[in-house]
Amino acid sequence: MTHSWNNGENRQPRRILITGGAGFIGSNFVHHWCESYGGDRVVVLDALTYAGNRQTLAQLEGRENFRFVQGDICDRAAVDSLLQEEAIDTVAHFAAESHVDRSILGPGAFVQTNVVGTFTLLEAFRQHWNGKGQPSDYRFLHVSTDEVYGSLGPDDPAFTETTPYAPNSPYSASKAGSDHLARAYFHTYKVPTIITNCSNNYGPYHFPEKLIPLMCINMLLGKPLPVYGDGQNVRDWLYVRDHCSALDVVIHRGEPGETYNVGGNNEVKNIDLVRMLCKLMDEMATELPVRPCEELITFVKDRPGHDRRYAIDATKIKTELGWTPSVTVEEGLRRTVEWFLTHEDWWKPLLSEEYQAYYNQVYV
């Protein structure tokens, strides 16, 4: 995928630190950046928790301009030395605990990583930026979620950048806290932070606990497809590579201190999404334990505090930065099903005992 921001402008190479770069969105962004800007220095910092997978970056590991570091964003000394020795000028901050169900079971890790971790990074970057004389081209991109805005009724207008925060889960509350820190560091210290809030992502390298990969894998294994409540919850689905192109544009053309909402313009009810995946799998998979896949749909007890609807109004990033999503939900789902069909070697090892225990706790 080419970078869409350029329009022939002269571009100086960047030295970018990508936190959480072995996770789902982060790893897709690493691939996007390396494909688009081969001359840039790319450093990935990832703690390799359950949702981080170094295999996702395996094909990049031998490249001269690429470095992977296993480490925790809460480790100030490690972050300081990395910023210094790599002369980092750009941080793309993806590292986060991100699964609502896990935040309900154990909120402490979410406060630690999402709030304390973001604070640690901001403090380290502030010191680093000050030490370099506060260069105007430095950037700190804080990648966040539409869940900080709370839940919408069926007829409510979509979230804009000025929608009041009303997080409803420990996950979204911790992300809201980190957003406020990123904003405060711009207003108090003039640190060049930019915040993005995106809708639900999907695509390659997606950990099996999330809705779309969970459904794809369960169909391939002939297991039930657990759908929360009545299945009428609505989400705006954004293909992950579209999200990466938006973040690319924001880093290059976004204004420090601003927030940009990134959406896919694809509002779909959960049950309709699952049925779309079933049809695609019936069509594309040669061997399935159960066919048609719709026979596997099972409604399960709803998640506590389950937000009914999210929707993003992405007018600002379109009008100010010229970005729009390019992948329809039909095309994106087809690409995603194809990926899970051809990458069993990636997802099979993730179905560990720990994952099965978590799965049974939530769905069984």
* Per-residue pLDDT at 179: 98
Which is catalytic among the residues 171, 228, 239, 260? 171
pLDDT average, residue stretch 70-77: 98
Of the chain, the end-to-end C-alpha distance in Å amounts to: 40
213 located within any domain: no
* Per-residue pLDDT at 336: 98
pLDDT average, residue stretch 239-267: 97
* Per-residue pLDDT at 3: 45
pLDDT band at 303 (very low <50, low <70, confident <90, very high): confident
73 located within any domain: yes
* Per-residue pLDDT at 33: 98
pLDDT band at 6 (very low <50, low <70, confident <90, very high): low
273 located within any domain: no
- Percentage of the chain lying above the pLDDT 70 cut: 97
pLDDT average, residue stretch 260-280: 97
pLDDT tens digits, one per residue of 19-32? 999 999 999 999 99
* Per-residue pLDDT at 293: 97
Which is catalytic among the residues 46, 101, 147, 307? 147
pLDDT average, residue stretch 213-223: 96
Give the residue numbers spanning the domain of 105. 15-202+239-265+308-326
Is pLDDT at 197 greater than 80 in this prediction? yes
Is pLDDT at 254 greater than 90 in this prediction? yes
231 located within any domain: no
* Per-residue pLDDT at 8: 42
pLDDT average, residue stretch 110-122: 97
DSSP track, 39-70: TSEEEEEE---TT--GGGGGGGTT-TTEEEEE
pLDDT band at 9 (very low <50, low <70, confident <90, very high): low
Cα(140)–Cα(91) distance, rounded to whole angstroms?
A: 5
pLDDT tens digits, one per residue of 167-181? 999 999 999 999 999
Cα(304)–Cα(68) distance, rounded to whole angstroms?
A: 37
Buried b (16+ CB within 10 A) or exposed e, 125-152: bbebbeeeeeeeebbbbbbbbbbbbbbb
**Angle value at C-alpha 309, between 303 and 315, nearest 5 degrees:** 145
Cα(192)–Cα(138) distance, rounded to whole angstroms?
A: 7
- Is 146 one of the catalytic residues? yes
Is pLDDT at 364 greater than 80 in this prediction? no
Q: Provide the domain count of the chain.
A: 1
* Per-residue pLDDT at 262: 98
Is pLDDT at 302 greater than 50 in this prediction? yes
Q: Which of 87-101, 148-162, 230-244, 266-280 has the lowest mean pLDDT?
A: 87-101
Task: Specify the pTM.
Answer: 0.95
* Per-residue pLDDT at 363: 76
* Per-residue pLDDT at 96: 93
pLDDT band at 166 (very low <50, low <70, confident <90, very high): very high
- Is 75 one of the catalytic residues? no
Cα(192)–Cα(57) distance, rounded to whole angstroms?
A: 28
Q: Contact 63/38 with Cβ under 8 angstroms?
A: no
For the chain, what is the mean pLDDT? 94
Which is catalytic among the residues 146, 179, 236, 258? 146
DSSP track, 147-181: GGG----TTSPPB-TTSPP---SHHHHHHHHHHHH
Structure tokens at 58: 């395996």
351 located within any domain: no
Cα(15)–Cα(134) distance, rounded to whole angstroms?
A: 16
CATH code assigned at 148: 3.40.50.720
* Per-residue pLDDT at 307: 84
Is pLDDT at 1 greater than 70 in this prediction? no
188 located within any domain: yes
- Is 147 one of the catalytic residues? yes
284 located within any domain: no
49 located within any domain: yes
* Per-residue pLDDT at 2: 39
Cα(94)–Cα(79) distance, rounded to whole angstroms?
A: 15
